[in-house]
Chains A and B, each alone.
Chain A
Amino acid sequence: MIHLPLMLVVFYLAMAFITPLLGRLKKFSSRYFGVAVSAAGLLIVGATAFHVFDAGPFRYFPGNWASPVGIEIVVDEITVLLQLTIAVIGFLVSVYSVDDLDREIDERMHNWFYVIYFLMMAALNGLVMSFDLFNIFVFTEIGTLTACAMVAIKSKRVCLRAAINYLILSTLGSGMILMGIALIYMVTGHLNIGAVAQVLPEATEAFTWNVRIALSLFVVGFGIKSALFPLHLWLPDAHSSAPTPSSALLSGVVLKVFIVVIGRIVFQMFGVELFVQIPIPLVILTLATMGIFLGSLFAITQTDIKRMLAYSSVAQVGYIFMGIALVSARGATGGLLHIFNHAVMKSLLFTAAGAIIYKTGIRKIDDLNGIGYKMPLTMAAFGVGALSMVGIPGTSGFFSKLWLALGALDAGQPFFVLVIIISSLLNSVYYLPIIVRAFFGGGSGKFTMDQLPWKMLLPLVILAAINLYFGILPGSLVRLAEQAAAIWLH
Chain B
Amino acid sequence: MISTIFANLHYFVAILLFLIGFHTMLTHSNLIKKIIGMNIMETSVFLLFISVGYVRGGNAPIIDDQISAYINPLPSALILTGIVVGVSLTAFALAMVIKIYEYYGTVNTDEIMRLRDGEE
Question: Which residues of chain A have a CB within 8 Å of any CB of chain B?
Answer: 134, 137-138, 141, 145, 148-149, 152, 155, 157-158, 160-161, 163-164, 167-168, 171-172, 174-175, 178-179, 182, 185-186, 191, 304
Instruction: Tell me the bound Cα distance from A167 to B119 in angstroms.
Output: 21
Known contacts: A141-B85, A172-B22. The answer to whether A178 contacts B45 by CB under 8 A is yes
Known contacts: A175-B18, A185-B75. The answer to whether A164 contacts B81 by CB under 8 A is no
A164 B45 Cβ-Cβ under 8 A: no
- Which of A158, A164, A186, A191 makes the CB contact (< 8 A) with B96? A164
Query: Which partner residue on chain A sits nearest B85 by CB separation?
Result: A141
- Which of B22, B26, B31, B85 makes the CB contact (< 8 A) with A164? B31
Residues of B within 8 A of A167 (CB): 89, 92-93, 96
Query: What is the number of contacts between chain A and chain B, taking CB atoms within 8 Å?
Result: 83
B100 A172 Cβ-Cβ under 8 A: no
Say how far B5's CB is from chain A's closest CB, in angstroms.
Answer: 16
Known contacts: A175-B42, A175-B45. The answer to whether A164 contacts B89 by CB under 8 A is no
Asked if B112 is an interface residue, CB under 8 A from chain A, the answer is: yes
> What are 25 A-B contacts defined by CB distance under 8 Å?
A134-B81, A137-B85, A138-B81, A141-B85, A155-B99, A157-B119, A158-B119, A160-B96, A160-B100, A160-B103, A161-B112, A161-B116, A163-B96, A164-B97, A168-B25, A168-B34, A171-B93, A175-B18, A175-B22, A178-B42, A178-B82, A179-B18, A179-B48, A182-B48, A185-B49
Say how far A343's CB is from chain B's closest CB, in angstroms.
Answer: 26
Say how far B37's CB is from chain A's closest CB, in angstroms.
Answer: 9
Say how far A151's CB is from chain B's closest CB, in angstroms.
Answer: 10
Query: Which partner residue on chain B sits nearest A179 by CB separation?
Result: B45
Give the contacts of B29-46 with A (CB-CB under 8 A): 31, 34, 38, 41-42, 45
Known contacts: A141-B85, A164-B96, A168-B25. The answer to whether A134 contacts B120 by CB under 8 A is no
Given A149-B92, A175-B45, 19 more pairs with CB closer than 8 A: A138-B81, A138-B85, A141-B85, A141-B88, A145-B88, A157-B104, A164-B93, A171-B25, A171-B38, A171-B93, A172-B25, A174-B42, A175-B21, A175-B41, A178-B45, A178-B82, A185-B52, A186-B48, A191-B78
